[in-house]
Each structure stands twice: as C-alpha cells, then as structure tokens.
Chains A and B, each alone.
Chain A
Amino acid sequence: MQDKLYNYLLMLGDNSMILGHRLSELCGHGPSLETDIALTNMSLDLFGQVRSYFQYAAKLKAGDATEDSIAFLRTERNHHNALLVEQPNEDFAHVITRQYFFDQYHLLLLEQLCESKDEQINAIAHKSIKEVKYHHRFSKTWMKRLAQGTRVSHEKMQAAVTSLYPYTEELTKANAVENEMFNQGIGADLASIKSVYYEEVDGLLSNIGLQKPEEGFFYKGGKEGIHTEHFGFILSDFQYMQRTYPNMTW
C-alpha cells in the first residue's frame, strides 16, 4: 500500500470532515435562515469531498476498508486535520473567521491539486474547487460585513481574529508527508501557497480594519495527530453510533 499517499488523503479528508462537522453542529441554529442554509450547504460540500477522499483511501488500503471505517473508526492520534478546523463554534464571528482562514488556504491548495499527477486527486480537486470558490466568496464577504458593520460586530471579529490567527500557520507548514507528495508531483507546494496565503489574509484584515495579533506565535500539532482537548468530544459525537453498535449496516 502507498502509505504516504494514504496519509495524504487522510490529511485532506480530515480537514474537510472536521470543519464539516463543526458546521453541521450549527444546522438549525444560524442567525438567519439564509445563513443557516449557506453554512449547511458548505458542510454538505465538505462531507461530499470527504467521501471522495476516503473512498479513494479505502481502495488504497484494500482489505475491508470503507469510507465509513476510515471516517468513523480512527482514534484521536490517527486524525490529521489542522487544529484550526476543530476550534469550537464560539459565536458567528469565530465561525466566519475560521471559515475564511481555512477557505483561503483551501482555495490555493485546490488550485495546485488541480494540476496533481494523481488522477483521482486531480479529479476531486476539479470538482471541489467550484464549491470552495463559493465558500471563499461567502466567508470573505461576511468578514467584511462584520468587521465594518457595527462597533459590536467589529469587536467580536477582532476577538475572533486574535484567537484564531495563531492557528493559520499550521495549514501551510509542510510535514514529511506533504513534502514527499509535493516531490512526487501529487501534492501541493505549501511554501508557495504560504506567501500568497498571507498576502491575501493580511491584506484583507488590513483593508477591513482588523489587527492580526502582534506575537508571531503559532500553534501546531494537528497534522501529527496531537489535537486540542476539543477533539475527543468531536469524536464522541461523530463516532457514537459506530462505536455503540459495531459492525452493523445503517
């Protein structure tokens, strides 16, 4: 089995899965019907991507692996999403900021994966980029609206940026798997993504009057399976049925 490719697919899939999960927690609880529908739509898109990645991963793994065994039966240390996407839905400002910080990365990543030598990843990226362009437009527009709306919304956005910005660097900091995948022409070049990413993000923040935190400190660990304390609770919900009723068909 191609271990590195399999692990790369887990990283790609886990980011979409955990963010999709966070968005799915909001279904029915949004600030308006329109935003509720939009956030659910993004969650649906992300879970669609998860299915594509994990169906492919299951083929590579062979045996009796399925998209569901990969999605539902791994423990905390075997999940490889960035810490950003597991951050909780503190309020709508955090939801939007988390989304924009991820969407900006996701868009740049998929642009490169559309050139991937791996046919499956290439095809998934072509399908997903259409969705992610919309996510990016949605979250970027809401960043502007909330930063420049009222004094209250501005303060909430500033608090969200201050708390979430330190999670951004991990997205573009390549680990061994990502480096190997880039060298093989399968994965993206995160170094080149990083410079464009911060041009875009820092440019937007400055345009809409939000400050990035002064300390240049960043969190990391998710990609290596070392998560925040939120993560176990996500899995408790996410895996509840599969763990309580093992080996059943639903």
Chain B
Amino acid sequence: MEHSIEYLEKQFQDRIDRGENIEAKDWMPEKYRKTHIRQISQHAHSEIVGMLPEGNWITRAPSLRRKVALLAKVQDEAGHGLYLYSAAETLGISRDELFHQLHTGKAKYSSIFNYPAVTWADMGAIGWLVDGAAIINQVMLTRTSYGPYARAMVRICKEESFHQRQGYEIMITLCNGTEEQKAMAQDALNRWWWPSLMMFGPTDAESTHTEQSMKWKIKRKTNDELRQQFIDITIPQAEFLGLTVPDPDLKWNEERGHYDFGEIDWTEFWQVVKGFGPCNKERLKARNKAWDNGAWVREAALAYSEKQSKESIRKAV
C-alpha cells in the first residue's frame, strides 16, 4: 500500500518523538537525510583537517611520552574520520564524493582548525579547550536520532574525553613548570579561548539550522546552551591552573547560576567561516596535496585488487 508523504512524515516524526532511533534503511524525509549528510560529513572533515594543527607538532614533541601520546591522539582522529565517513555512507553518499566536497572547498569543517598551533602549549590548549568544547557537543550527539551517527559518537566520545584529559595534563605540567612554561600556557589560553567559544556556532537568534534540528532530535540543546555549559565547566579548570581567561567581562552571576561573559567577535567568526582565517588556505592545500600525491597509490591498489579477483575467478573456473 502506498502512503502519502504527509502520512510518512507524520509517522517519522512520531517515531522521533517516541525517542526511537532512525536506521539507514528506514524511510526518512529527504531533508533529514541531507541534513545528516551535511552534519556528519562536516564532522568527519573536522576530524581529518583537525589532524593537521596537532600533526605539525608530532616531530617536535618534547619527550618520548608526549610524542607517543600525541601520535596516538592524531591517529584516533583519523579513526574518528573513518567511522564518521562510514556513518555518512549509510545515507547514500560515497567517501570519495565527500572528499571531493572538502577538497573543492564546498564542504565546511570546524573553523577552529583554521587557527595555527604555534607553540607546544597549543597541544595542551587544543586538547583541553577544543576537545573539551567538542565533547560537550558530542555527548549530546550520542543521543541523536540517527542510529549510525549516535553509535559512532559513543565510541568517539570515549576517546575524546581521554584526549581532553591529556591536553589538560599538558597544561598542568606547564603551569607547574618554569615562568617561561607558564607564560607559554597563558599565551595559548589567550589565543584559543575565543575561537573555542565560537565552536558552538552562531547565537540561537542567528542559527539557521537549530529549530529543525531540535525537532528532529539531531540536536537536543541550542548553541547558546552548549556554549554556556562549556564556559561553566571550564572556568574553574582555568582557575585551578592559575591562568586568566582573556575576558574582562567574565563573572559569576549568582542569580542565573552561570558565568556571564563578554561579546564574541562574530566578525572574526564569519571571516574564518568564509575562508579567510589564518590557516584556511594551508589546511585545504595540505589535504589536497595528500590526496593528489596519493592518487597513484589508490589507483594501483584498485588495479591490483582487480587483477587478483580476475586471477581467482580464472583459477576457480
């Protein structure tokens, strides 16, 4: 029996309202599918591009222990990229197509990775703040309505929280170190604080996707709620380190039970989103270079596997 689109959409929304997961083979509105492709692939791209700022410090890590931890962390990000591209593929798009969107600048990724990692302390600040902000978002996503995405997030969250602790531990070590190390930590916090707050996206008033995403339980909290949650968690951590958050307007508001904070520079936010951040061009160039240089390898692997399967068919016959 054929159902009308309206009927199917109603059934779909009822399932979401009952808290059921939507699976790859279930009927879903085209817009739900597209929204998920956009969101999951942006997330996957962020993992892959996110390997670059930290990857740039692997060869210069200050101790063997730190080097191994950083290598493992960046490798985890590649793994997260893999799960997420696979989750996106369940919605009927190929990894190659998604890469093409990234390489041509059509797809977005988290703007935070367009900032440069200029000192070793940035490895601490990125883990502490950037992974910290990501976790706030991702914990929410473990309960998102699309099953494959939610399940990928469960695994990712476990590793991300480990990365966050690792970053914070780098910060603790620096803050317990020499004056020079502590200054390096403060400088990193100064540079990464505001871009980390921008990771939650535009304010609710400006956010174009929030309303529909909430209805479909893709998101369960708004950008502003998540940002506030991050600030409330992070300020005591900065105080423990003895570092100063670079916001003169920051203060505890007893009445609200939250920290008040200063105005985010949205001009900078949009500038970076539109491709004019400090490293946008370098990041895309690095991804394109890796992809182009690897083309002959991928072609050879494919040609070899085709030859092998022809050979096994020939033997079987």
Contacts and interface: CB of A to CB of B under 8 A. Distances in A.
Interface string B35-60: 00000000000001001100100111
A28 B300 CA distance: 21
Contacts of B55: 27-29
B75 A27 contact: yes
Interface centre among B60, B174, B176, B291 (most CB of A within 10 A): B60
A153 B297 CA distance: 7
Given A29-B290, A153-B297, A250 B66 contact: yes
Given A31-B294, A153-B297, A248-B181, A241 B60 contact: yes
Given A28-B55, A149-B300, A48 B68 contact: yes
Interface in A1-48: 21, 24-25, 27-37, 40-41, 43-44, 47-48
Given A31-B294, A35-B297, A238-B59, A250 B120 contact: yes
B118 interface: no
A202 interface: no
Given A27-B58, A248-B178, A146 B297 contact: yes
Contacts of A192: none
Contact of B59 (A24, A30, A51): A24
B289 interface: yes
A33 B296 contact: no
A91 B181 contact: no
- Could you tell me the dominant secondary structure of chain B's interface residues? helix
A74 B62 CA distance: 14
A17 to B, nearest CB: 9
Nearest to A237: B59
Interface in B112-170: 120, 170
B296 A156 contact: yes
Given A24-B59, A35-B297, A156-B296, A148 B120 contact: no
Contact of A241 (B75, B120, B296, B300): B120
Ranked nearest first, the 4 interchain pairs of A and B with the lowest CB-CB distance are A31-B294, A149-B300, A153-B300, A241-B62
Interface of A: 21, 24-25, 27-37, 40-41, 43-44, 47-48, 50-51, 54, 67-68, 71-72, 91-92, 144-146, 148-150, 152-153, 156, 237-238, 240-242, 245, 248-250
25 contacts: A25-B59, A27-B74, A28-B55, A28-B290, A29-B293, A30-B294, A31-B295, A33-B81, A51-B68, A68-B64, A72-B62, A92-B293, A92-B297, A146-B300, A149-B299, A149-B302, A150-B299, A153-B296, A237-B60, A238-B60, A241-B120, A245-B62, A250-B63, A250-B120, A250-B173
Given A28-B48, A31-B294, A152-B300, 18 more contacts: A24-B67, A28-B51, A28-B286, A31-B290, A32-B297, A33-B82, A37-B75, A43-B71, A44-B68, A68-B63, A72-B62, A146-B297, A148-B307, A149-B302, A240-B60, A245-B178, A248-B62, A250-B174
